Amino acid sequence: MPTTRETILAALHARLQSVAALVLRDEVLPERIPTTGLIILRDGQPGEPEVTLSPLRYHYQHRAELEVVVQAAKDRATAFDTLISAIGSALEADRTLGGLCDWIEPEAPASVDLPIEGAAALKAAVITLNLHYTTTGPLA
């Protein structure tokens, strides 16, 4: 039986599949970026939980990350903004992933342009997602 953490991350990965981009989980950056863009979900760290004792519960603010990359010869900024907006819409459509977690809160991306010799530059950002959820134990 998967842990609460894995169940939530798998549901998040599935939720992101609705975005018109290639969505991977914990993969290396591929050699070619699809024209629709690329999203890589990194599992991140659950951090230190707050603990309540009666009943015993562990309350996490897990920090997962989305690596978002687009590559376009022109209108790269527009393509990037469109992809970021689509991610935001997908998350806002169900901030609890069907009740699996208490809340998902994305942080604003800080984008960067990365030149590629002999090819169109990449525009990329890391978006931190704060996943709020409760478990019955640190390994549950």
Range of the domain at 82: 4-134
pLDDT 10s digit of each residue in the chain, 140 long?
Answer: 899 999 999 999 999 999 999 999 999 999 889 999 999 999 999 999 999 999 999 999 999 999 999 998 788 999 999 999 999 999 999 999 999 999 999 999 989 988 888 888 899 999 999 999 999 999 99
Of 24, 9, 1, 2, nearest to 101 (Cα)? 9
Q: Which residues are CB-contacts of 126 (< 8 A; sequence separation ≥ 6)?
A: 65, 66, 67, 68, 109, 110
What is the Cα–Cα distance from 135 to 140, expressed in whole angstroms?
6
Q: Model pTM?
A: 0.94
What integer pLDDT is reported at residue 118 of this predicted model?
80
Say if 41 falls within a structural domain: yes
The CATH number for 13's domain is 3.30.70
Please state the φ and ψ torsions of residue 8, each to the nearest 5 degrees: -70, -45
In a domain, 103, yes or no: yes
Tell me how many domains the chain contains.
Answer: 1
Nearest alpha-carbon partner for 87 in 8, 16, 10:
16
- 130 beta partners: 63, 105
Q: Is residue 139 domain-resident? A: no
Domain assignment present for residue 140? The answer is no
Residue 113 lies in a domain: yes
Evaluated on CA atoms 50, 54, 56, 59, the torsion sign reads negative
Q: Is residue 65 part of a domain?
A: yes
pLDDT at position 33 is 92
